[in-house]
Amino acid sequence: MSKKKPKRPWAFSRVGKTVHRLEWRHTPKSPIARMLLLTDLHWDNPKCRLDLLKQDLEIAKANDYPVMVGGDFFCGMQGKYDPRSDKSSLRPEHQRMDYLDALVETAAEWFDPYKEQLTVLSLGNHETAIMKRHETCLIERLVERLRAAGSQCQKGGYDGWLQLRICTTTTGGAVAGL
């Protein structure tokens, strides 16, 4: 007999092209609504402290916190048309002829254990530079892979809104927005 997974206390949705909503169901016994906000990860850069990032993501997963990444998920500066490009400064798994594909592939694998926590991955100036020079969107491609693996995450824009809403359950079971 399989254990039924408890209903998560939060829900995520897209309500507009660049508007997303995180909504928590709250009762008097519920813990405080929490989330993990990350920006400027530059996840693929060798200087990124993946050990610390993993610790934070493990906490988010263990406590069922939603995770949002607001821009510059990727560094992506070693592409063919980037004037700063230096292939020798890449992590070994990215030293491939299909560099941009390697970024998406390895990110999807690395973030797979946290796919249920990921809500929105937004574009930053590094991702938009890749779009301009290479005509592909690394965030869109990563989100596609994560969604194919069961994530509900969405691609966010370079700018946009995140609506945070806490709904309380009253004694009659009705839900009221705060």
**What is the tens place of the pLDDT at every residue in 5-49?**
667 889 999 999 889 999 988 777 777 788 999 999 999 999 999
**Number of structural domains the chain divides into:** 1
Count other Cβ atoms within 10 Å, centred on residue 91: 16
pLDDT digits (tens, 9 = 90+) for 103-115: 999 999 999 999 9
pLDDT of residue 167 exceeding 50: yes
pTM for the model: 0.86
Q: Tell me which residue range forms the domain holding 127.
A: 33-159
Rounded-to-10 torsion of CA 66, 21, 144, 46: -50
Tell me whether residue 89 is in a domain.
Answer: yes
Residue 51, domain member (yes or no): yes
**Residue 145 domain-assigned (yes or no):** yes
Q: What is the pLDDT of residue 177?
A: 45
Residue 77 lies in a domain: yes
Residue 9: its pLDDT value, please?
85
Within-domain flag for 175 = no
On the question of pLDDT at 83 being above 90, the answer is: no
Q: What is the average pLDDT value for the chain, to the nearest integer?
A: 87
Q: Which residues lie across from 154 on neighbouring strands?
A: 120
**Which pLDDT score is estimated for 176?**
46
The more confidently predicted of residues 99 and 85 is 99
Determine, yes or no, domain membership for 104: yes
Residue 122 is assigned to a structural domain of this protein: yes
> pLDDT at position 26, please?
79
- 130 domain residue, yes or no: yes
77's tokens = 């500066």
Give the pLDDT confidence score for residue 156 in this predicted structure: 92
DSSP-based three-state secondary structure for 21: strand
- Residue (of 57, 43, 50, 51) closest to 127 by Cα position: 43
